Structure 1
Amino acid sequence: MELLYLLGSIIYTSITSIFFSLLLPFRFLLHRLLPSRAAVDPNVSFYEGTVWHDRLRPVRHSFRYSVRYALFDLDKAITTPPDHLSADEARRVSHTTGPIYLLTIPPSVGYEQNPLSLYYCYDLEESSKRLSKCIAQVTNTPWGERVTFVFDPESDLVAKSLQVSPFMDMLGNWKIRANEPGDDLSVSIESQHPHLGNYFSATLKAKRIPLMRVSDPAVFFWLMPHKVAIWIYWHALKLWWKSVPFIQHPRYSNPSYREEAAKRDQELRCPRLDGSDSDKTIKFDGLKADGCSFEGCRFAWRDANWPWS
Structure 2
Amino acid sequence: MTHRPEQVAAVTTHRRRGSIRHSFRYGVDYVLIDPEVSVRTPLLFSRNRLNLASVHDRDHGGPLRAGCGAGWVRRVMADHGLADARLRVLLLTQPRFFGYVFNPVSFWLVLDQEALLAVIAEVSTPFGDRHSYLCHLPGFVPITPEARIETPKSLHVSPFQDVAGGYEFRFDIQPDRIAIQILHRNGSEGVAAALFGPRAPMSNAGLVRAALRRPLGALRTIFLIYWQALRLRLKGARYRTRPEPPKTEVT
TM-score tier, shorter chain, comes to 0.7 to 0.9
- The answer to whether the 8 A contact 1:108-1:218 is kept is no
2:168 counterpart residue number: 175
Q: Secondary structure in 2 aligned to 1:240?
A: helix
Structure-2 separation of matches of 1:57 and 1:77: 47
1:147 maps to which of 105, 128, 131:
131
- The answer to whether the 8 A contact 2:171-2:180 is kept is yes
In the TM superposition, 1:195-214 aligns within 5 A as: 195-197=187-189, 199-212=190-203, 214=204
- The answer to whether the 8 A contact 2:5-2:201 is kept is no
The answer to whether residue 20 in structure 2 is matched with residue 59 in structure 1 is: yes
1:144 partner letter? G
Structure-2 separation of matches of 1:210 and 1:107: 18
Q: Secondary structure in 1 aligned to 2:205?
A: coil
Structure-2 separation of matches of 1:112 and 1:185: 22
Structure number with the bigger relative contact order (C-alpha 8 A, sep ≥ 6) is: 2
In the TM superposition, 1:154-303 aligns within 5 A as: 154-193=147-186, 195-197=187-189, 199-212=190-203, 214-215=204-205, 217=207, 220-221=210-211, 222-251=215-244, 258=246, 299-300=248-249
Structure-2 separation of matches of 1:218 and 1:100: 27
The answer to whether residue 83 in structure 2 is matched with residue 108 in structure 1 is: no
Give the root-mean-square deviation of aligned CA atoms.
2.3
Q: Which has the higher strand share?
A: 2
Q: Secondary structure in 1 aligned to 2:191?
A: strand
1:234–1:162 distance in 2 versus 1, CA, 3 Å: same
Structure-2 separation of matches of 1:77 and 1:45: 14
Structure-1 separation of matches of 2:198 and 2:191: 24
Structure-2 separation of matches of 1:232 and 1:99: 33
2:223 partner letter? I
Structure-2 separation of matches of 1:77 and 1:178: 27
Unaligned stretches of 5+ in structure 2?
40-46, 48-54, 62-68, 137-142
1:196 partner letter? S
- TM-score, normalised to structure 1, is 0.62
Deviations 1:119-145 (A, max 9, x none): 00013xxxx44211111110012x120
2:56 counterpart residue number: 81
1:90 partner letter? V
1:168–1:47 distance in 2 versus 1, CA, 3 Å: same
Q: Name which one, 1 or 2, has greater alpha-carbon Rg.
A: 1
Aligned pair count reads: 209
Q: Which has the higher helix share?
A: 1
The answer to whether residue 123 in structure 2 is matched with residue 132 in structure 1 is: no
1:120 counterpart residue number: 109
2:66 counterpart residue number: none
Structure-2 separation of matches of 1:187 and 1:77: 27
1:192 partner letter? R
Q: CA deviation at 1:93?
A: 1.3
Q: CA deviation at 1:203?
A: 0.4
Q: CA deviation at 1:216?
A: 6.8
Q: CA deviation at 1:218?
A: 6.6
Q: CA deviation at 1:116?
A: 0.3
Q: CA deviation at 1:177?
A: 1.8
2:60 partner letter? H
Q: CA deviation at 1:108?
A: 1.3
